[in-house]
Amino acid sequence: MSTSGLYQLTDEHDAIRAAVRDIAEREIAPYAAEVDAESRYPIEAQKALTAAGFHATHIPEAYGGEAADAVATCIVIEEVARVDVSASLIPAVNKLGSMPIILSASEELKQAVLPSIARGDAMISYGLSEREAGSDAAAMRTRARRDGDTWVLNGTKAWITNSGVSEWYTVMAVTDPEKRASGISAFVVHRDDPGFTVGPKERKMGIKGSPTCELYFTDCTIPADRIIGAEGTGFKTALRTLDFTRPTIGAQAVGIAQGALDAAVEYTRERKQFGQAVSDFQGVQFMLADMAMQIEAARHLVYVAAARGETGNSGGKVDPDLGRLCAAAKAFASDVAMKVTTDAVQLFGGAGYTQDFPVERMMRDAKITQIYEGTNQIQRMVIARSLLR
């Protein structure tokens, strides 16, 4: 694997981290437990992030965006996830939903959708998975057929993040069933389009503040110019999108892990057993040290993958190692998040198993990072195939 795409943190990156951390601690963290307990959308976080311009930092300046580089966007997501993972899905899913448009849509479609997201007037979600087409996304059954000046969509999408609160949806549908993956096209659907409805919220283990629902298309009719790119290129666009967004899930995982470590350090310093602070015991110190090492390794891998996505997936030339690196960043960071949050609960002892402290929520939230945007088993397949190619 080559080393091109190495990143350099700048003063601007440091300033972004400081600004987002301040917002997260003042305006997002105080509501995190309530958002989880009530399974309600973190509207306070959305307002705070939008007011500061951190809700969709990746959108190019040509469409009214901040045009932040990929590492800066990862820093935003990481710092929000440090206090509330549900809230971090606001910038993360705005990027996931809009990247197919940025990568492949016509200029007219970009102008029709992206400025509203950049302004914070609208959000966008991503519709790829179905109940019987998760890891095997090419097996999707949602169909789209051309009807004059429109496309008509029929089918169902599952596990769609921030569904119901988003105005726009990037949706993959089969336009030529005979071609399997090469017969899939990408479309942009608006929540007001006729024939489009959002199902009830899923009852989830974690990220309860982010609504997850099915999307229903019943002769859903959209203008013909809402297709993203050429017909039959949707699956390629979806895969290319993941090279830009899997590092953001890694960043989210790093943020969860860092928040859990911060809480564990503070708690073990203050709690006393056998006449001394719990943090004075060598066994506890070794756990904390391992947690810190793993987080730092994950953070750097995520930043390298994010930077490589911009340098190795531009100008029409795709770095053959890019998919492997992005898969590694997502899988490693999410595995670290699961381990670190589990260890944090252990270090809190019985208190960690209660909702009086945030680590049990962090542990529940961490689990999804090993599953969505491609399970970690799929990531390992991507890595192995690249190595054996």
> Would you state the CATH architecture of domain 124-228?
Beta Barrel (2.40)
Q: Do β-strands 150-161 and 212-223 pair in parallel, antiparallel, or remain unpaired?
A: antiparallel
Beta-bridged to residue 188, according to DSSP, are 170
234-388 belongs to CATH 3.90.550.10? no
Residue 358: how many CB atoms within 10 A of its CB? 23
Cα gap 36→358, rounded to integer Å: 10
Confirm whether 44 is a catalytic residue.
Answer: no
pTM score of the predicted model: 0.94
Cα gap 73→16, rounded to integer Å: 9
Cα gap 81→362, rounded to integer Å: 9
What is the full per-residue pLDDT of the chain (389 aa) written as tens digits?
344 557 899 999 999 999 999 999 999 999 999 999 999 999 999 999 999 999 999 999 999 999 999 999 999 999 999 999 999 999 999 999 999 999 999 999 999 999 999 999 999 999 999 999 888 888 999 999 999 999 999 999 999 999 999 999 999 999 999 999 999 999 999 999 999 999 999 999 999 999 999 999 999 999 999 999 999 999 999 989 988 999 999 999 999 999 999 999 999 999 999 999 999 999 999 999 999 999 999 999 999 999 998 775 555 566 778 999 999 999 999 999 999 999 999 999 999 999 999 999 999 999 999 999 999 999 999 999 999 98
Tokens coding 174: 């089969």
Query: What b/e readout covers 50-61, taking b as 16+ CB neighbours within 10 angstroms?
Result: beebbbbbbbee
Nearby residues of 193 by Cβ (< 8 Å), 6 or more positions away: 220, 221, 222
- Residue 356: burial class (beta carbons within 10 Å; 0-12, 13-18, 19+): exposed
Task: Give the pLDDT of residue 314.
Answer: 53
Question: What is the CATH code for 11-119?
Answer: 1.10.540.10
Extended beta strands in the chain, E state: 124-127, 143-147, 150-161, 168-174, 184-190, 196-201, 212-223, 227-228, 272-273, 276-277, 313-314, 317-318
User: Active site residue: 27, 66, 214, 373, which one?
Assistant: 373
Cα gap 108→118, rounded to integer Å: 16
Task: Give the pLDDT of residue 319.
Answer: 77
**Sequence ranges of the domains in the chain:** 11-119, 124-228, 234-388
Task: Give the pLDDT of residue 320.
Answer: 77
Cα gap 299→150, rounded to integer Å: 45
